[in-house]
Amino acid sequence: MAEINFTKLLVHLVVLVDVVLLHVAYATYFERKVIGHMQMRMGPTRVGPMGLLQPIADGIKLFFKEDIIPAAADRPLFYAAPIICLVAMLSCLAVLPFDPNHVLADLNIGLIFIFAMSSLASYGVVLAGWASNSKYSFLGGMRSMSQVISYEIAMGLSLVGVMMMTGSLNLGQIVAAQAASPFGIYAIPQFIGFFVFVVSMLAETNRVPFDLPEAETELVAGYCTEYSGIRFSLFFMAEYIGMIVMASIGTICFLGGWNGPFTVPYVPFFWFLLKIYAIMFFFFWVRATLPRYRYDQLMDLGWKFLIPLALANILLTGLMKTVLE
Amino acid sequence: MNLSISPEAVPLIREGIFVGLIIVTVFGALLATLAKRMTRAVLGLVVCFLGIAGIYYFLNSPFVALMQLLIYVGAVAVTICFAIMLAEPDERKLAAKTPGMAGPLAVLLGATVTWVLAGTAIKAEWMAPAVKINEGSVKDVGVSLLTTYSMVFELVSIVLLIAILGSLVIARSGRDKAEC
Amino acid sequence: MPGNYLPSEYTAVLVMLIFGLIFGGMTLWIGRFFRLRRPYAEKLTAYESGNPPSKSPRFPFSVKFYLVAILFVVFDVEAIFLYPWAVVYDDLGSFALIEMTIFIGLLLVGYIYAWKKGALKWDR
């Protein structure tokens, strides 16, 4: 046990972070293209062939932008907030199994670790709102916090069904147990759980139709109103890494993880990536389709619909398991 | 270049991590008590909780460590955060209200608690930390929770029920006053 | 001394945390040398649609947010008790189900009470 190959670990980690950041960059391109075409527009076309270099240009632009810190801001907290978000989201990546052999930290309680880290990220948001000393930021931070904590319960409860079917909190074991189950994926027997998960996934990541914390038509940019340049892009990265993490959790817990109907040679992680891209596409599709929820509707949906539904799903799963045995 | 750790270095690294965790905890605690602004104090509290979670982990209880994170960092500190912002978001008014006796009293109380805790800690016979790590931890907790400690388990739900009722009562009286 | 080893699973998490801190910090720090910085008073005021900010931006908000936080604590704790229960459900079977039904049932009483008292009403 004592032998930890740090070189290997660091290389693995840096490659993972780089790949994920590349995905973050191209997720923005993917998003703009998908929404563009859904709205009969072209999306980015100017920078590079088919606009493929657009995310790079955006990154460079954000890096060189002036870093404006409002005079009234609470500086230490203002500095800390984006880093808290980013660190919390990055550390989620460490426990995701992309393949039986490619997981940085094979935790036995990986699922709980992800919950813990995503609750930590909500601090970054609320601190950003507070530290900016701006009305829009403050409101955005508060909204985000109460929304995230409300839907965190629904999300946690929606995954209890999966835990019951697997008897484990290890993400790798969840995938393995899933492959051995009659349907191959848990999205079919756990369809209620999957539905609750998908809705709370959208809310947890502050995506449309639950993007009230950043609602640009009413709160400018919500909690990151006062953030500019590279600081803003740290929040942005954290948000998109969060989306990727949620998509991965959905893939692992409900869609069978790295397993597919057949093995694809020479393309590593083919099924895992395909499923993640499908869920990401779903994120963007929803954004192009649905209007935003009103705040009371959002809270009602979370507290009066999703949580009872998730509890009912747990009870149903328990009964089904007892009856079937 | 291979940075593999030799077995001899392991105790040293463990000690290093342990000391690091203690530093994080104490730093968080100091930040929580000394910070002038309440929000910063909450951040200090969170840092302190993180350090404590690390120590739990260090004692080979990863499940308890994550419980600490989820409940204290994820839930309790969030509530405190909300409570601060709800009660008096403008801390300039708050600073003026602190009575003069608060400082000495706090020192006295803190000293008493430290004295009692230190006394207990020196006298107590410490159990060795659990040897098992990363295997069956959650299962063991689950089994003993539902069999040996099932009564406690049900009592927890009553405590939580009372918490809901209490918060409703408090919130209602708050609403009557603030009218918002 | 028990457990005189480095658990490799969590080391990766620790390294990831440190890496994230360094990555975030370095991105900000390196950027300092490249970006321009021309602050003036108007630029540094909080954004309020072009108007000078009026009053304090931090204002007491509705007590409902606090109620949500309390309910969140309660249900979070409940969910945390559900995880080990779910993991051992196969081993303990219907006995565990009955226990959990009592547990959730008691909390549901509180939940319904909160609902009836209007704690979950946001349009008022």
**Model confidence over A228-256: pLDDT tens digits?**
778 888 888 888 999 999 999 998 888 88
Per-residue b or e along A152-188, where b marks 16 or more CB atoms closer than 10 Å to that residue's CB: bbbbbbbbbbbbbbbbbbbbbbbbbbbeeeeeebbbe
pLDDT-derived band at C3, boundaries 50, 70, 90? very low
Neighbours of A298 (CB within 10 A): 21
Domain ranges of chain B: 1-92, 141-180
How far apart (Å, rounded) are the C-alpha atoms in residues A319 and A158?
16
Q: B142 contacts in C (CB within 8 Å)?
A: 84-85, 87-88
How far apart (Å, rounded) are the C-alpha atoms in residues A240 and A175?
24
**Cβ contact B60:B129 at 8 Å:** yes
| Nearest C-alpha in B relative to C64 | B171
Q: What is the mean pLDDT of residues C61-88?
A: 80
Report percent pLDDT > 90 for chain B: 4
Low-confidence ranges of chain A (pLDDT < 50): 1-2
Residue C32 reports pLDDT greater than 70: yes
Domains of chain C, first to last:
63-116 (1.20.58.1610)
CA neighbours within 13 Å on the CB side: how many for B5?
19
Chain C: closest CA distance from residue B95 (Å): 16
Q: At what angle do helices A229-254 and C8-31 cross, to 10 degrees?
A: 150
Residue B12 reports pLDDT greater than 80: no
A interface with B, Cβ–Cβ below 8 Å? 2-7, 10, 74, 76-77, 80, 107-109, 112-113, 115-116, 119-120, 122-123, 126-127, 130-131, 142, 145-146, 149, 152, 169
Residue B179 reports pLDDT greater than 50: no
The pLDDT, as a whole number, for residue C124 is 56
**Cβ contact A83:A234 at 8 Å:** yes
Please, which chains are in contact with A (at least 3 CB pairs closer than 8 A)?
Answer: B, C
Residue C1 reports pLDDT greater than 50: no
What DSSP string describes B125-155? PPPPPP---SSSHHHHHHHHHHTTTHHHHHH
Q: What is the mean pLDDT of residues C92-97?
A: 77
Q: At what angle do helices C94-116 and B150-178 cross, to 10 degrees?
A: 10
| Nearest C-alpha in B relative to A1 | B7
In terms of Cα–Cα distance, which of A211, A206, A199 is closest to A313? A199
Rg (CA), chain B: 21
Q: C71 contacts in B (CB within 8 Å)?
A: 164, 167
**Helix, strand, coil percent content, chain B, rounded in steps of 5:** 80, 0, 20
Per-residue b or e along C48-57, where b marks 16 or more CB atoms closer than 10 Å to that residue's CB: eeeeeeeeeb
Per-residue b or e along A274-295, where b marks 16 or more CB atoms closer than 10 Å to that residue's CB: ebbeebbebbbeebeeeeebeb
Of 3.40.50.1820, 1.10.10.60, 1.20.120.1200, 2.70.70.10, the CATH number of B1-92 is 1.20.120.1200
pLDDT-derived band at C2, boundaries 50, 70, 90? very low
Identity of the amino acid at B163? A
Residue B22 reports pLDDT greater than 80: yes
How buried is residue C7: exposed, middle or buried, by Cβ count under 10 Å (0-12/13-18/19+)? buried
CA neighbours within 13 Å on the CB side: how many for A63?
14
**Helix, strand, coil percent content, chain C, rounded in steps of 5:** 60, 0, 40
**Helix, strand, coil percent content, chain A, rounded in steps of 5:** 70, 0, 30
A99 phi/psi in degrees, rounded to 5 = -175, 155
Per-residue b or e along A20-38, where b marks 16 or more CB atoms closer than 10 Å to that residue's CB: bbebbbbbbbbbbbbbbee
Contact (CB<8Å) A157/C79: yes
Rg (CA), chain A: 20
Neighbours of C116 (CB within 10 A): 10
Residue B1 reports pLDDT greater than 50: no
Residue C106 reports pLDDT greater than 80: yes
Q: Which residues touch A134 (CB under 8 Å, ≥6 apart)? A: A70, A225, A226, C46, C47, C48, C53, C57
Q: Which token pair is A144? A: 């985000």
| Nearest C-alpha in A relative to C54 | A135
| Nearest C-alpha in C relative to A168 | C87
pLDDT tens across B31-52, in order? Answer: 888 877 777 888 888 889 988 8
